[in-house]
Amino acid sequence: LDGKALEFDSFIEPIRSRYSGYPLENCHRGNVAFFEFQSNFKLVLDNWADNYHLFAVHPALDQTMANEDRKSLENVGPHAFCRYGFIGDSDTGIELTRGDVALPRAEGMSEAYQRSGGLGTIFPNIGLFASPTCFLFINMRPLAVDKCP
């Protein structure tokens, strides 16, 4: 609006580059969910992006992640990214089955996404979360000073 914004292609290039190995064209919308939080939306999105709370809050998930592959937030222009790797058997990285049912994977996924995941942000309120089994679009919409869905 002020005439100082980057051209859209320049603005979105870091996002395109980070997710170039994820076959979005082979994905489909599986679900839409709405949640309301009594929180600042930046804290909710930051919860997806950090690696430091996993050991205490999500110990089972923490055990599937390789410490050397955890990357905290990295700022690239107006965007921020984090990345983490999964450990497990050599084909899947983590156990993606429950009984005889396996979680689906998109065809054509790059090797990097077979064993890792991460979040990218389009500030101030949009997150793109990629993992071996899903791609999430997270849109935080503040409702009021003290509410955020």
- Residue 92 has a pLDDT of 43
If you average pLDDT over residues 16-27, what whole number do you get? 88
Query: How many residues are there in the chain?
Result: 149
pTM of the model: 0.74
Q: Is pLDDT larger for residue 145 or for residue 143?
A: 143
- Residue 103 has a pLDDT of 66
Residue 75: phi, psi to the nearest 5? Answer: -85, 130
Percent of the chain, pLDDT > 70?
A: 79
d(CA 17, CA 99): 36
- Whether 73 contacts 50, CB under 8 Å: yes
Q: Is pLDDT larger for residue 104 or for residue 31?
A: 31
Burial (CB count within 10 angstroms: exposed 0-12, middle 13-18, buried 19+), residue 118:
buried
CB atoms within 10 A of CB 28: 6
pLDDT, tens digit (0-9, with 9 covering 90-100), for 36-64:
777 776 776 677 666 777 778 878 777 77
d(CA 69, CA 94): 14
- Residue 135 has a pLDDT of 87
Q: 8-17, 26-35, 43-52, 91-100: which range is least confident on average?
A: 91-100
